[in-house]
Copies of this chain bind each other. A is one copy, B any other.
Amino acid sequence: MKRHSHQRDIILEEVRRGKTHPSAQEVFDRVRPRLPKISLGTVYRNLEQLAAHGVIRKLELPGQQRRFDGDTSEHYHIRCLACGQVDDIPGPLLVQIRQLPDTLNNYTILGHRLELIGICPRCRETAGPNPSNGQ
């Protein structure tokens, strides 16, 4: 990020809009109405750059495509097993994880990833995956 770009500004605005956790393709779809000539590669590159600089967070979800989060505060996520929707879990990190030793199994510990798995209210009510939820 050695200089500004209009594309990056718009991408950041769209990632920050709402509390969703969009994939690169979803960001692309949201940006396109404003920048019809933008390409998907530009979206990927800028999302990675913004995440590398801590402006947004990258969520690498097991078995799913990568998502991005405009909220950089420390928080966990819960993910719907049926539709893939990702929501925030407010509150502090687990105390037990905070208290882990510096080394374990001879590894130097740098961090952790935790996500809860569940069924979102919409999928529970409709008794099936709700495609409009995201996946």
Q: Would you call B105 and A109 a contact (CB within 8 A)?
A: no
Q: Would you call A104 and B117 a contact (CB within 8 A)?
A: no
Question: How many of A's residues come within 8 Å of B, CB to CB?
Answer: 35
Contact with B along A46-78 (1 / 0, CB 8 A): 000000000000001111001000000000001
Max chain B CB contacts within 10 Å: which of A60, A105, A115? Answer: A105
A5 close to B (CB within 8 Å): no
CB of A127, distance to nearest CB on chain B (Å): 13
Which residues of B are found within 8 Å of A96, using beta-carbon distances?
94-96
- The one of B62, B109, B120 in contact with A113, judged by C-beta atoms closer than 8 angstroms, is B62
A1 close to B (CB within 8 Å): no
Q: Would you call B60 and A60 a contact (CB within 8 A)?
A: no
Which residue of chain B is the closest to A106 with respect to CB atoms?
Answer: B121
